[in-house]
């Protein structure tokens, strides 16, 4: 079961593409032993965040490539999702989610951050030269 969940984490982007929803080439790298020690609910939260991030890439970024890297640095699990798309203004998106009269509310980024914080991690968005989402979970 654990190996299956880790495989789902690594294949989330490929599944979206297999359904014909994108033309984004996805690269992945798993070089972590810390991920094996996470609780089931922590892995589930990470999976949902990865799915949302990759879905956002497909729907909004106009990227041709995306990558997911899961690595360890000392006692910290690091996950980096990067694309070569157009990037976005995080404040503008978050303000649209808070505005009552917004035509379309955007809760994905808020939910991603809340999921990671619920398992003791941090999520940072860097939108320069594409977009990177950096997740850190200290163990």
Fold of the domain built from segment(s) 2-138: Heat Shock Protein 90 (3.30.565)
Task: Sketch the domain layout of the chain as residue ranges.
Answer: 2-138
Residues 6+ apart with CB under 8 A from 106: 93, 94, 96, 97
Q: pLDDT averaged over the chain?
A: 83
Least confidently predicted of 24-38, 60-74, 97-111: 97-111
Residues 6+ apart with CB under 8 A from 41: 119
Q: What percentage of the chain carries pLDDT values higher than 90?
A: 55
**pLDDT tier at 66, thresholds 50, 70, 90:** very high
**pLDDT tier at 63, thresholds 50, 70, 90:** very high
**pLDDT tens-digit readout, 86-132:** 998 887 776 765 555 455 556 889 999 999 999 999 999 999 889 99
Looking at the predicted structure, is the pLDDT value of residue 6 above 60? no
**pLDDT tier at 19, thresholds 50, 70, 90:** very low
Rounded average pLDDT over 26-35: 90
3-state secondary structure of 118: helix
Strands 65-73 and 121-126: unpaired
Looking at the predicted structure, is the pLDDT value of residue 35 above 50? yes
What DSSP state is assigned to residue 36? G
Could you tell me the CA-to-CA distances from 57 to 16, 52, 83, 134 in Å, in that order? Answer: 10, 9, 7, 15
Looking at the predicted structure, is the pLDDT value of residue 17 above 80? no
């Amino acid at each position: 079961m654990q190996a299956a969940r880790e495989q789902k984490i690594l294949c989330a982007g490929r599944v979206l593409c297999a359904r014909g929803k994108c033309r984004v080439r996805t690269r992945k790298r798993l070089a972590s032993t810390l991920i094996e020690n996470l609780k089931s609910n922590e892995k589930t939260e990470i999976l949902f965040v990865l799915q949302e991030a990759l879905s956002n890439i497909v729907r909004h970024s106009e990227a041709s490539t995306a990558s997911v890297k899961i690595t360890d640095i000392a006692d910290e699990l690091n996950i980096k999702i990067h694309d070569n798309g157009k990037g976005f203004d995080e404040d503008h998106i978050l303000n649209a989610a808070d505005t009552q009269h917004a035509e379309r509310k955007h809760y994905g980024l808020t939910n991603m951050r809340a999921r990671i914080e619920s398992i003791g991690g941090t999520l940072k968005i860097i939108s320069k030269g594409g977009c990177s989402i950096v997740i850190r979970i200290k163990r």
